[in-house]
Amino acid sequence: MAPLIITAALTGAELTRHQHPRLPITPEEIGLAAAQCAEAGASIVHVHARWPDGSPTQSAEVYAQIIEAVQQRCDVIVQVSTGGAVGMTPAERLAPVYLRPEMATLSMGSVNFGRGVFTNLPDDIEHFAREMVRLGVKPELEVFDAGMLATAKRYIAQGLLPATAHIDFALGVPGGMPGTPQALQYLVAEVPANTTWSVAGIGAAQLPLSALAIVLGGHVRVGLEDNLCYRKGELARDNAQLVERVARLARELERPIASPTEARRILGLLFSANEVVSKAPT
């Protein structure tokens, strides 16, 4: 089996310090959390930006500060969110992609989210996809429901998305597919050839789905964005504690853990010298 890529979803858009006192909010805090997660075995950090008061933003300037704060401290792949927060405009959400990060999320459809709707219209998904391909940013296809996997497969078949896609199954959002082993196994059986996948179990689903992904040969996303607790009734110490547990499980199950370089190789992010030149910001 390929080494396990662990993604740390550090902050999210909706959570507050009232819910978790160690939720990283500022670029500095996010950089520190990334370094702790990298030390624990994460090779990707999924990041959201916040204004200093904690409210969500897709400001490219704040994302640039986050990327710099992470890269000063460690070598992990930075994956920016284009999901942002419910209610943001598509143009707002796409802004950090123009920084040409290594990866960005790309949601494959709309889903009820909290009391609102996380809206992803076909025209917007297709525009986001074309921009990411044009800018050399690897999309991670966010799948909250089975129909979204069918959409991803359609875009791959049409050539809008590369066949070497990376899919993240975000399971357990109320309104989306449940965070059960049965749901994950159904989805995994439908994953197209050449495609890698990870799972982000929401809330209590995080631990069992992580264990299942390790044995099924998938990859794992954990972190406070998806789950605030280490176990029922006990807040996680921080993001790194959640990464440490997955790394420990993987070691027990004899699945090696990917370094950032190995993760880049698995995800096809390593470019030849010529391609690096063509990827340089213009």
Footprint on this chain of ligand KMH (rule: CB under 6 A): 12-14, 81-83, 85-86, 105, 107, 113, 118, 142
3-state secondary structure 123-160: HHHHHHHHHHHHHCCEEEEEECCHHHHHHHHHHHHHCC
Looking at the Cβ atoms of 12 and 176, the one nearer to ligand KMH is 12
Q: What does 142 interact with, of ligand KMH, Zn ion, none (CB < 5 to 8 A by kind)?
A: ligand KMH
Distance CA 270, CA 272 (A): 7
Residue closer to ligand KMH, measured from CB, 9 or 213:
9
Among ligand KMH, Zn ion, none, what binds residue 118 when CB lies within 5 to 8 Å by partner kind? Answer: ligand KMH
CA distance 33 to 119: 29
Residue 239 contact partner, candidates Zn ion, ligand KMH, none, CB within 5 to 8 A by sort of partner: none
Q: 């992580």: which residue's tokens?
A: 210
- How many other CB atoms are found less than 10 A from the CB of residue 155? 21
Which helix (H) or strand (E) is 71 found in, with range? Answer: helix 60-73
Question: Which CB sits closer to Zn ion, 81 or 227?
Answer: 81
Name which of 56 and 218 has its Cβ closer to Zn ion. 56
Indicate the residue among 81 and 198 with the shorter CB distance to Zn ion.
Answer: 81
Residue nearest to Zn ion (CB): 81
The distance of closest approach from Cβ of residue 265 to ligand KMH in the complex, given in angstroms and rounded to an integer, is 24
Q: Name the minimum Å distance from CB 143 to ligand KMH.
A: 11
66: three-class secondary structure by DSSP: helix
- Taking CB within 5 to 8 Å according to partner kind, which of ligand KMH, Zn ion, none is near residue 7? none
Which one, 62 or 255, has the nearer CB to Zn ion? 62
Min dist CB 87 to ligand KMH, Å, is 9
For helices 27-40 and 60-73, give the axis angle rounded to 10 degrees: 40
Cα separations (Å) of 235 from 23, 47, 87, 213? 11, 20, 28, 23
Residues that bind Zn ion (CB under 5 A): 81
Q: Give the nearer residue to Zn ion in terms of CB position, either 81 or 196.
A: 81
From the list Zn ion, ligand KMH, none, pick the one residue 155 interacts with, judged by a Cβ distance below 5 to 8 Å according to partner type: none
DSSP state of 257: B
Least distance between ligand KMH and beta carbon 254 (Å):
31
Tokens representing residue 152 in the block: 């991803």
Return the one option of Zn ion, ligand KMH, none that residue 75 interacts with (CB less than 5 to 8 A, by type). Answer: none
**Measured at CB, which residue is nearest to ligand KMH?**
83
Provide the minimum distance between the beta carbon of 107 and ligand KMH in the complex, in angstroms, as a whole number.
6
Q: How many other C-beta atoms are found inside a 10 Å radius of the C-beta of residue 182?
A: 9
Phi-psi region of 159 (alpha: psi -120 to 50; beta: other; left: phi over 0): left
- List C-alpha distances in Å: 266 to 4, 73, 151, 194: 10, 23, 23, 11
Minimum distance of ligand KMH from residue 274's CB (angstroms): 31
